[in-house]
Structure 1
Amino acid sequence: MDLKVIESLLEKYLNAETSLKEEEKLRAYFSSGQVAPHLQEYSPMFSYFSRAKEEKYSGKVAYKPGKRKVYSWVAVAASIMILLGVVAQKESQVSEFGTYEDPELAMQKTREALQMVSMYMNDGTEDLSYLQEFNTTTDKIVQNP
């Protein structure tokens, strides 16, 4: 077979553009034993494909039906635990309107919220001092032309 044809088929093969007949031509060429020296690196690949095509699995697959039962019990137990956790959390912490039934817990949460607001307010007032300096400088420029 012409070397130019083989090279073009090989290029098409590497770009995944060959048909089954073209791939068969390539396999025949690389298994013929008369491969050009610069194409020798592709010979092991095509010989592997030929051998792999003939392989068949003759072993048996082991099936163990007992493990499925274990997984189903684990799923049931996990579902029960999640349900109990949700019910216990609803009863102890917050009513349906988002208020706390325990006055001490409500006071603690309110303090946390107010501390967070205070922190952000303090950060904001620090930035206002720079703005005030800018305003006074601008006023000086406008008053003294």
Structure 2
Amino acid sequence: MYPPPMPVIPKIDYASAKQAHKLLDRLDKFVAFERAGQNPDLRTILAYRQHNRCPICHEIIAHPCSDEAQVHHSDYTRYCWSSLIKRYAPDTKGNIYREVPNCELCFADRPEISEQCLSTLYLLHADCHDKLHKNSTNN
């Protein structure tokens, strides 16, 4: 869908959602969903769905796995069904591998769940992501 829908700030804040997931004994699945944004394949899919454009400023995101891009979660009530795997995903901090959810397996085995997941994630410029969250605290 172009242009992509405008990302929203989650109705339930991060700390409250994390506490709720902990009480429901699925904190590990909540953390896995949080880490989904570090999965290079997921970032590539988000970039493709958004036509490589940031939905905030509509400018091109040069590379979905660069430090320029961040994944925004518009819903903290979601959690991940997939187990964590080690993926080669180097970053500027010197990390080579990251433990991320196995999104590819989820896309194959649970397409309806993966579509729900993707609908809550947005690839944004780091600056646009900061502005989105800063504007939400000023309202």
For Structure 1 versus Structure 2, the TM-score category normalised by the shorter chain is under 0.3
Q: TM-score w.r.t. structure 1 length?
A: 0.17
Q: Which has the larger radius of gyration?
A: 1
If the length of structure 2 is used for normalisation, what is the TM-score?
0.18
**Higher normalized strand content (fraction of residues):** 2
